[in-house]
Amino acid sequence: MTRFHNKVHAGKTSRELFVEAAVEAIESVDKGFELKDIDALYVGNFSSDVFEHQCHLAPLLADWLGLCPKPATRVESACASGGAALQVGVMAVASGLFDVVMVGGVEKMTNLPTEEVTDALAMASDNIYEASLGMTFPGIYAEMASAYFSKYGERYEWLASIAIKNHHNGKLNPKAHFQAEVLELANKFGEKRGMKFRDELEFLKSPLNFVVAYPLRLFDCCPISDGAAAVILTSAEKAKKWTDTPVYVEGVGQASDTMALHSREDLTSIRATVEAGKMAYRMAGIRPEDVDLALVHDCFTIAEIIATEDLGFFKRGEGGKAAEEGITAVDGAKPINTDGGLKAKGHPVGATGVGMVYEVWKQLRGEAGRRQVDDADKALIHNVGASGGTVIVQVYGR
């Protein structure tokens, strides 16, 4: 996996980013894995056609990696493109179609200014009822946040706790976009204006952390990032050839929902998350309380709160309280987004789901360094397309 960032990859194309991630994946295998061992390639990518004016991305990546003429397929499901590619890769191996596949994700977003990136991302919403009327995803998730506050009480500290925690975790992750605590960034911003903040909340409630779409502020939103990630999937039996410490895919789930928010009965829950979670838990033979850590799709801070409730980790209305009380910290009872999440690790859209698996691989092998969860045995990833039109949930074990 490359670092996710908006500047360190300046001048690189998605081809170069993907090759960097793929080579790292190959070289990380314990026992002499080679490129020729890969039978097929599946790549999650949302919109290289807009960001780079390049469609038909998969064979280009296969060519640059030296995989041609082996099958190469691009998978698109908005922000869940990486997770959807993982689903296809798992099915390809589980069905016996291929012995070994590489699954990756990549997005090069920073060729365009922020306004145009925002418009491009809005194409993943319902164009007739949302995007064409000026709605963007900050506004869509702000509607969810407003509905949540209306139902369970308005407490900005819940959202702030997510940002503070995920920036703390990002500081511990060398692959993260933001490798700094919220207070460090706050005082960096404030220094230019002769301001110094006593604590994170003072900054997060200040005008410097401006409102993007009420009640969401700047630090409630994930950044625009470039990056790529890649993993290698094979059968449990064949994995023994290359490693003594494999990570197993134990359960997978995928579900859909209406895209336009006005068609949903409840804006404080994403139905596709609930259903995909049930599928993954059932296949893995576990319950939510058996999950030792989870990587959930926190494109906005409210999204993490809703996800932790939809996945059954906390009761309805208590996800924000759990974060505020430290339950979701790395050393808490239910660690969430140990890598910094989308909020701090970054969100190169097509790479996000696969990047979650990279963190799971590190955690379950005991290689996550200062963000390591003690005795981690079961991990979950949760990858959301747009506002929940597509959701992938996968359970991993060691």
Which tens digit of pLDDT belongs to each residue from 146-194? Answer: 999 999 999 999 999 999 999 999 999 999 999 999 999 999 989 989 9
Which tens digit of pLDDT belongs to each residue from 195-233? Answer: 999 999 999 999 999 999 999 999 999 999 999 999 999
Q: Which helix (H) or strand (E) holds 83?
A: helix 81-94
Decide if 17 contacts 108 (C-beta within 8 A): yes
d(Cα 302, Cα 222) in Å, to the nearest integer? 11
* Residues contacting residue 131 through CB under 8 Å, at least 6 positions apart: 122, 123, 125
Tell me what pLDDT residue 39 has: 99
Question: Which range of residues forms the domain containing residue 41?
Answer: 14-112+224-238
Tell me what pLDDT residue 122 has: 97
CA 41 to chain CA centroid, Å, is 20
d(Cα 356, Cα 305) in Å, to the nearest integer? 18
Number of structural domains, the chain?
A: 1
Please report whether residue 271 resides in a domain: no
Please report whether residue 392 resides in a domain: no
Please report whether residue 131 resides in a domain: no
Tell me what pLDDT residue 102 has: 99
Q: What is the DSSP letter of 5?
A: B
Strand pairing class (227-234; 100-107): antiparallel
Q: Which of 233, 240, 250 is nearest to 99 (CA)?
A: 233
Tell me what pLDDT residue 192 has: 86
Please report whether residue 190 resides in a domain: no
Structure tokens at 15: 């081809």
> Catalytic residues, which ones?
79, 347
Which tens digit of pLDDT belongs to each residue from 23-63? Answer: 999 999 999 999 999 999 999 999 999 999 999 999 999 99
From residue 165, how far is each of 138, 159, 219 by CA, in Å?
Answer: 21, 10, 12
Which tens digit of pLDDT belongs to each residue from 273-304? Answer: 999 999 999 999 999 999 999 999 999 999 99
Please report whether residue 233 resides in a domain: yes
Please report whether residue 381 resides in a domain: no
Match 């829950």 to its residue by tokens.
269
Residue 391 has pLDDT above 90, yes or no: yes
Please report whether residue 141 resides in a domain: no
Q: Which of 353, 360, 359, 357 is nearest to 383 (CA)?
A: 353
d(Cα 71, Cα 59) in Å, to the nearest integer? 8
Residue 110 has pLDDT above 90, yes or no: yes
Structure tokens at 92: 């390809």
Give me the helix-helix angle, 137-152 and 114-122, nearest 10°: 70
SS3 367: coil
Please report whether residue 78 resides in a domain: yes
In sign, the C-alpha dihedral spanning 79, 82, 85, 87 is negative
d(Cα 5, Cα 223) in Å, to the nearest integer? 9
Which tens digit of pLDDT belongs to each residue from 245-254? Answer: 999 999 999 9
Q: What percent of the chain has pLDDT over 70?
A: 100
At 48, which CATH number?
A: 3.40.47.10
Q: Which helix (H) or strand (E) holds 298?
A: none
Which tens digit of pLDDT belongs to each residue from 307-319? Answer: 999 999 999 999 9
Give buried/exposed letters for 161-177 (b at 16+ CB in 10 A, else e): bbbbbbbbbbbbbebbb
pLDDT mean across residues, the chain: 98
Give buried/exposed letters for 115-124 (b at 16+ CB in 10 A, else e): eebeebbbeb
Strands (E), the chain: 40-44, 72-75, 100-107, 211-213, 216-217, 227-234, 248-256, 293-295, 378-385, 390-397
